[in-house]
Amino acid sequence: MSGTHAHTVPYVAETHYPAEPAPVSTTGPIAWLRENLFSSWLNAAITLICLAFILWIVPGILDWAVFKSVWHAKSLSECREIIVQTYGEGTTGACWAVIHERLGQLLYGFYPVDQRWRPDVTLLLLITAMIPLLFQTMRPLVVVMAALIGVKILIAAYLAVTENTLGSLFGPTTIVAIVIGGLAYFFGDTHHRTRWLVFTIVFPILAYFLLWGGIILEPIPSSRFGGFLLTMVIGVTGIAGSLPLGILLALGRQSKLPILRLICVTFIEFIRGVPLITLLFVASTLLNYFLPPGTNFDLILRVLIMVTLFASAYMAEVIRGGLAALPKGQYEASDTLGLTYWQGMRLIILPQALKISIPGIVNTFIGLFKDTTLVAVIGLLDPLGLTNPIRSDANWNGIVWELYGFIAFLFFVCCWGMSRYSMYLETRLRAADRR
């Protein structure tokens, strides 16, 4: 075979040469650096400027927030004294003592201290109610509950060492966590999901009973709700209420009935055209005028109504986008099958339209969750509303970064988690499309 060629071609390879490794300059960390950081003079300059910026800012922040911070003190001036004594004149550090002292308030507002297990249990039940909506199996719930019990044990161990008490290791939260975790571990497969969804439907009633009290639990007026508890109550209610309302409004806006459409369009455009703060003003000052004389229900319920209406208008627009993106053939197909309007919507149109609009829906949720901070402006004591009394307290006068930083961090964790979840869902649904 090679013999014939050997006479006509100057060189013929007769053996197989093993592949050479790629040149060092195109693989490995050096090449990565060259490609991504120093590909041109301009890039190199940008990299160096960025590095300088990071080196300037990160050690400073770490130093301030971690290494030279104070966790136990009675006031800001005491904090500063401790820092100056320990690290020398002119050093500044974070005074996390304010968070340490006011943590209960920032999380629960003025909810009675001995009743604070109730919001805790409600939060656990909220997670339990949400997991079957968010995931296919209940396994994540096992992980969450196990992590929670682990954290509780760690805190108990810490308290046992420092304060010689076991703390609240055996409180209602732990019991509920163990029960739920156990149930999720043994009955957590996909075919049990429907039963967990039944719990999800019951949850709002349970949550209302737990938080506001009644029958056997001590009733708590909602004026004592505050801090992150209030944020969660407003955010979760708004999210849960705005989705069904938004779907109805979107369907109304798409409807062939002109009067219905006009009503929905007017409502949506009106709500979207005014800032939330004006709607909250309506809740705080005007809503009582619109109701029969003598009715006077509390501010938080009024705010809940307004926030839900506000979010539902935005939700309607997102879902309308999903409805509009469906090919007309789907509507025609459902008519051809002889389905009624509601059957067609429920079985054919909405499942697809909602799937398309998931990123938008989650974005609306994130926006709503962030917008709950606006209730501070009408005097409700959410975490931001609590910053004013804390900052005007003589002990903590002048505290800025620690307080806002902590609240911002809490919000960041929640919102960032939601946006990550939406990305995960998008990939999962795209995989379902690919087949």
Partner 1 sequence: MSVATGAPPPTFRIDMLWRDERYRSGFIQAIAMIILMLGVAWLVNNTIENLSALGKDFDFGFLWQSAQYDINQRLIEYNNQDTNARAALVGILNTLLIAVMGCVSATFLGVVAGVLRLSKNWLIARLMTVYVETFRNVPVLIWILLVAAVVNESLPSPRAFRGVDTGAFVATNRGFYIPAPILDAGGGIVVGIFLASIVALIIVRRWARKRQDATGEQLPLFWIGLGILLVPAVLAYFVLGMPIRLEYPELKGFNFGGGIYMRDSLVALWLALSLYTGAFISEIVRAGILSVSHGQTEAAAALGLRPNRAMRLIILPQALRVIVPPLISQYLNLTKNSSLAIAVGYMDATGTLGGITLNQTGREMECILLLMGFYLIVSLFISTVMNIYNSRVKLVER
Q: What share of the chain is helix, strand, coil (3-state, %, to 5)?
A: 75, 0, 20
Instruction: CB nearer to partner 1: give 35 or 218.
Output: 35
**Using rule CB under 8 A, residue 422 touches partner 1:** no
CB-based contacts of 189: which residues, under 8 Å, 6+ apart?
A: 137, 138
In whole angstroms, how close is the CB of 134 to partner 1 at the nearest point?
A: 19
DSSP assignment of 176-213: HHHHHHHHHHHS-SGGGHHHHHHHHHHHHHHHHHHHH-
What is the smallest separation between the CB atom of 407 and partner 1, expressed in angstroms?
A: 6
Residue 225, both tokens: 């709700």
- Rule CB under 8 A: is residue 421 a binding residue for partner 1? no
Among 256, 328, 430, 434, binds partner 1 (CB under 8 A): 256
In the complex with partner 1, which residue's Cβ is closer, 179 or 408? 408
Nearer to partner 1, 105 or 200 (CB): 105
Least Å from the CB of residue 100 to partner 1: 20
Q: Give CA separation, 114 vs 86, 117, 171, in Å.
A: 37, 7, 11
Closest contact distance (angstroms) between CB of 287 and partner 1 is 10
Provide, rounded to whole angstroms, the least separation between the CB of residue 270 and partner 1: 7
Other C-beta atoms lying within 10 Å of the C-beta of residue 241: 19
Q: How far from 385 is each of 106, 271, 308, 310, 380, CA to CA, in Å? A: 10, 25, 20, 21, 6
Cβ 257 to partner 1, closest distance in Å? 5
Stretch that binds partner 1, among 47-55, 96-104, 173-181, 188-196 (CB under 8 A): 47-55
What backbone phi and psi angles, to 5 degrees, belong to 282?
Answer: -60, -45
Per CB under 8 A, 6 contacts partner 1: no
Which of 115, 373, 395, 422 forms a contact with partner 1 (CB under 8 A)?
373
Which residues are CB-contacts of 223 (< 8 A; sequence separation ≥ 6)? Answer: 110, 298, 299, 300
C-alpha pair distances (Å), 20 with each of 26, 90, 102: 13, 60, 65
Could you tell me the smallest distance in angstroms from the CB atom of residue 63 to partner 1? Answer: 17
Report angle CA 251, 252, 254 to the nearest 5 degrees: 65
301 contacts 231 by C-beta, under 8 angstroms: no
Assess 47 for contact with partner 1 (CB under 8 A).
yes
The minimum distance between CB 229 and partner 1, in angstroms, equals: 17
Tokens of 29: 């960390």
Task: Name which position in 371, 390, 396, 402 contacts partner 1 (CB under 8 A).
Answer: 371
Nearer to partner 1 among residue 38 and residue 199 (C-beta): 38
Cβ proximity to partner 1: between 280 and 349 the closer is 280
Candidate ranges 75-83, 164-172, 212-220, 253-261; the one touching partner 1 (CB under 8 A): 253-261
Cα Rg, the chain, nearest whole Å: 29
Q: Binding to partner 1 by residue 258, rule CB under 8 A?
A: yes
Which x/- pattern, by CB under 8 A, does the window 26-45 give for partner 1?
A: ---------xxx-x---x--
Residues in region 269-328 near partner 1 by CB under 8 A: 270, 272-278, 281-282, 285-286, 288-293
170 vs 297, beta carbon nearer partner 1: 297
Asked if residue 70 lies in contact with residue 96, where contact means CB atoms within 8 angstroms, the answer is: yes
Q: Which residue has the tokens 């229900």?
A: 297
Distance (Å, whole) CA 68 – CA 63: 6
- Rounded to the nearest angstrom, the gap between the alpha carbon of residue 223 and the centroid of all alpha carbons in its chain is 25
Q: Of 113, 205, 215, 259, which one interacts with partner 1 (CB under 8 A)?
A: 259
The single-letter DSSP state of residue 394 is: G
Under a CB-based contact definition with an 8 Å cutoff, are residues 250 and 316 in contact?
yes
Contact 100, 71 (CB under 8 A): yes
For the bound state, the minimum distance from the C-beta of residue 169 to partner 1, rounded and expressed in Å, comes to: 33
- Written as six digits, the tokens of 295 are 């009715």
- Give the nearer residue to partner 1 in terms of CB position, either 416 or 424: 416
Q: How many residues bind partner 1 (CB under 8 A)?
A: 57
Q: Does 342 bind partner 1 (CB under 8 A)?
A: no
- Does position 46 bind partner 1 by CB under 8 A? yes
| CB-CB contact of 234 with 374 (8 Å) | no
Which residues in this chain contact partner 1 in the complex, by CB under 8 A?
Answer: 35-37, 39, 43, 46-47, 50-51, 53-54, 256-260, 263, 270, 272-278, 281-282, 285-286, 288-293, 366, 370-374, 376-377, 384, 387, 391, 398, 400-401, 404, 407-408, 411-412, 415-416, 419
